[in-house]
Structure 1
C-alpha cells in the first residue's frame, strides 16, 4: 500500500485484522483506506467488493493475501493445514478476482490483476507440498486467466518472490515457534524485504497499459534456488 500510494495510486486495503489495517492506512494519509474482509468467507468478500465499488472504478487488483502452515512431510501432513492454505492462497484469490473482473475491464485503458505467488510454486521442496501446491495453483491461475482474457482490456501479472524476511510468515508457518522461524533466515545476508516485492508490484503496474509483465521472479542474491542458499558462517 505505501509503495503504491507514494506512486500516486489510491489504495483500498483488505484484511481481517482491523488494528493492522488502521495503522497501515493512517501511514499513507488520504491515499489509503481499508475494508475489513476475510477472503475465505463468501459473504465477507461480497460485502467488501460492494463497498469498494461504491467508491468508484477499480484499476488494479493486487492479490497478496496468503501464507504457509506447517512443514510436515506428505505422509504426516494435516488435512486441516492443507485446507486452510488452499482456502486462502487459492480460493481467496479466485473469489476476489472473479468478483472484480468485470469492473477491472471497464477501467480506462483496461485494468490489471496482479497475483503475488511464490517461487515455491516453481520449485517444490520437502516438507512444503501443501504450500508449494497452493502457490503452483496460483501461478497456473494467473497464466490461464492471461490466456483466457486475450483480446480483453485486462493485464494479468504474476510475481513470484523467493526468500522474504517478514515479521509473521515463518512464525505462522511454525505455529508461533520463533526459534524455528529465525532459523529460516539465519546466516542469510540480505534476504528480501516486503518493500522489495512492493516495489516490483508498483513497477509492473506502472508500465503502460499496452505492456503486460507476465511474470517476475524475485530472489535475494544469496538464493539461487530453494535448495541453493548461501549462509554465512561465524
Structure 2
C-alpha cells in the first residue's frame, strides 16, 4: 500500500484528495491547522487509512518535528502533494498590506520549499512522486493578484526546475495549475461567504473534487510517464484581454 502526504488537507482540494486517494487504496497523511477536522477525517476514512498531523505549515520547527515523529510504518512516503496555500487581499500593490504579502510568501513558497527538501531523500529512495498545486494566476496575472500570482509563478517554475534536478532518479514531478475552483479558499480570498457566492453565481466553477480526481489520475499513471504541468479551467473561464488606459 502506497502512502501520500497532503498539506492543507482540512478543506477544499486537499480534503477532497485525501478522501479520493484513501478510497483508491492509498494511506494518507494529511496536514492542517485544524485538529478537529483532521480527527473527523480519521474517523471517516479509518485510522488505518488516514493519519492527521496538526501544524501550521509555515512553522519549520513544528513541521519537521511532526514529520520526524511519524510512526515507523507511516514514514515511507511515496507521494507528496504540496497543496497548502493562500491568497490574502485583492488590493492593488500600492494599497496592499505588506504583512499580507509576507504571509503569502511564507505559505506558498517558503513552507513548500522546506517540506519538499525534507521529503526529497525518501522520494528519491522510493522513486516516488511530487505534485505541486500551482495556479493559472502564475501564468495569467490579474489586477490585485500581485504577490499571489508571483508566488504561484514560482511554484509553477520551481516544479519544472526540480524535475530537471531529479533527472535519472525516477521521481515524477508535476505542477497542477487550476483556474476557478470554488472552495473555502475562495471565501477567505474574497473576504466573506456573501462575496464568494456572488463571485461564483452562474459561473459553474470547478470543485475540489475535480482537482482531486486530476491529482489521483496523475499519481496513478505508469511510472515511466511524467506530466510536467497541467492547466485546468472551467469551460466558463477564459483568458483576460490586454487593457489600455487612455487620456
Tell me, yes or no, if structure 1 residue 66 matches structure 2 residue 85: yes
Please give the alpha-carbon distance, in whole angstroms, between the structure 2 residues aligned to 1:210 and 1:92.
29
Quote the offset at 1:180 in angstroms. 2.1
Scaled by the length of structure 2, the TM-score of the pair is: 0.86
Tell me, yes or no, if structure 1 residue 20 matches structure 2 residue 37: yes
Please give the alpha-carbon distance, in whole angstroms, between the structure 2 residues aligned to 1:151 and 1:143.
14
Runs of 4+ with >4 A deviation: none
Over residues 47-75 of structure 1, what are the superposed CA-to-partner deviations in whole Å (9 max), with x where a residue is unaligned? 12112373231101001100111000011
Tell me, yes or no, if structure 1 residue 205 matches structure 2 residue 205: no
Aligned to 1:50: 68
Q: Which runs of 5+ in 2 are unaligned?
A: 1-17, 242-247
Aligned Cα root-mean-square deviation (Å): 1.5
For 1:81, what is the secondary structure of its paired residue? helix
Quote the offset at 1:31 in angstroms. 1.1
Aligned to 2:162: 145
Quote the offset at 1:226 in angstroms. 5.4
90, 114, 119: which is aligned to 1:95? 114
Please give the alpha-carbon distance, in whole angstroms, between the structure 1 residues aligned to 2:103 and 2:22.
31
Alignment of 1:180-195 (within 5 A): 180-188=195-203, 190-195=204-209
Q: Which runs of 5+ in 1 are unaligned?
A: 228-234
Aligned to 1:219: 233
Q: How many residues align?
A: 223
Please give the alpha-carbon distance, in whole angstroms, between the structure 1 residues aligned to 2:113 and 2:137.
19
Q: Is the contact between residue 39 and residue 95 of structure 1 (CA under 8 Å) also seen in structure 2?
A: no
